[in-house]
Each structure stands twice: as structure tokens, then as C-alpha cells.
Amino acid sequence: MSDTQAGAHLREGPRVGIRHYTYADGEAFVALALESRELHHPWLAPPVTAEAYATYAGRLIDDPTKAGFLVCERATGDIAGFININNIVEGGFLSGALGYGAFVHAAGRGLMTEGLELVVRYALGPAMGLHRLEINVQPDNEASIALARRCGFRLEGYSPDFLFIDGAWRDHERWALTKEMLR
């Protein structure tokens, strides 16, 4: 089985593994996203229909400027959350922008910390060869900022009216980590 097929983890930690999205994950992902709407609002809006999931996953599977990872509990295989690398730029920049979310059953259990650390090492290591990862987060999203800090990202700046989310342009803090900063 190749490392891109369902069930095969690209990297594993003590409690979670990371793997790429598949179209077959749609039913489980949508059910978890629906259960987690309150947790995600107003920060993000993952797909909540099969059609929306197919479009979303397709971009992460087929677009070379994106890479998507599901964080799965090793004991059960259940999806705990997701981490996407968007806007991957090669050449002299070697960078990507991270977006992520936990599902409600996994929130507050440290699974996303472990998952993000695995994705960071995968992305900044030989597998993807990136040099820098960025996280843009709304200043009031305390859980996301705490996750960025726990994983060693540094605050680099503030961008007013940065992203259009939940019907308005939202300010964001910019957090980053480079290969040289890995612990």
C-alpha cells in the first residue's frame, strides 16, 4: 500500500498518525464537521455536505499548491481533525500556509498538537522540502494561537482585514516557523 492510500499513516506519534485525505473519507468527515459546527464558528467552515467535501478534498488531492492531512487516532483510526497546507510556493520561497481544525470529540485532548508537530516535520523535512510554514489566525481565536505557540511558531505580525470569513474581512495575527526553528 502506498503512503497516499487510506489507512496508511505518513507519520505516527504516540496517539495519532497523519495521512492524506481520500474521497472515501467524505461521509465520516461531513458527520464530524456537522457535529463540530459550534466549535468551528466563526473561525472556519469545513464542508458539511458530500458534494462540498468532494470539491474540498479534490482541491487538496489534485492541486500541487495544496497538501491536506487528516489527524487520526491510532487506537481507533477515527479522524480527530485536519491540517491543510495551502499556497505552497516552491523555488526560493519554499513556503506554505497552514489551516487546521479539531473535531469536537477530539478538542482539548492534545491530539492536534501531536498532529501539527507531525505535519510540521513532514513538511519541513525531506518529504516536502519546505523551509517555512505560516499560520494566520484571528486574534480572538485563543485555542488556535495556543496551538501555534505549543508547536514552536513565533508571532511575526498583524494583518488588518486579512481574510474574508463568516461574512466579514477579519484581522489576523501571522505566526511562522522555519526549518531552523525545529526543536
pLDDT score for 166: 86
Burial-class residue 178 by CB neighbours within 10 Å (0-12, 13-18, 19+).
middle
Residues 53-68: what's their mean pLDDT? 96
Buried b (16+ CB within 10 A) or exposed e, 35-54: ebeebbeebbebbbeeeebe
Tens of pLDDT, residues 110-147? 999 999 999 999 999 999 999 999 999 999 999 999 99
Residues 156-171: what's their mean pLDDT? 94
pLDDT score for 42: 87
Residues 148-167: what's their mean pLDDT? 95
Tens of pLDDT, residues 5-51? 455 899 999 999 999 999 999 999 999 999 999 989 888 899 999 99
Tens of pLDDT, residues 164-174? 988 999 999 99
pLDDT score for 182: 86
pLDDT score for 110: 96
Residues 174-183: what's their mean pLDDT? 92
Concatenated DSSP letters for 107-169?
TTTTHHHHHHHHHHHHHHSTTT--SEEEEEE-TT-HHHHHHHHHTT-EEEEEEEEEEEETTEE
pLDDT score for 57: 97
Q: What is the pTM of this model?
A: 0.92
Question: Under CATH, which number does the domain 11-132 receive?
Answer: 3.40.630.30
* Per-residue confidence band for 106, with pLDDT thresholds at 50, 70 and 90: very high
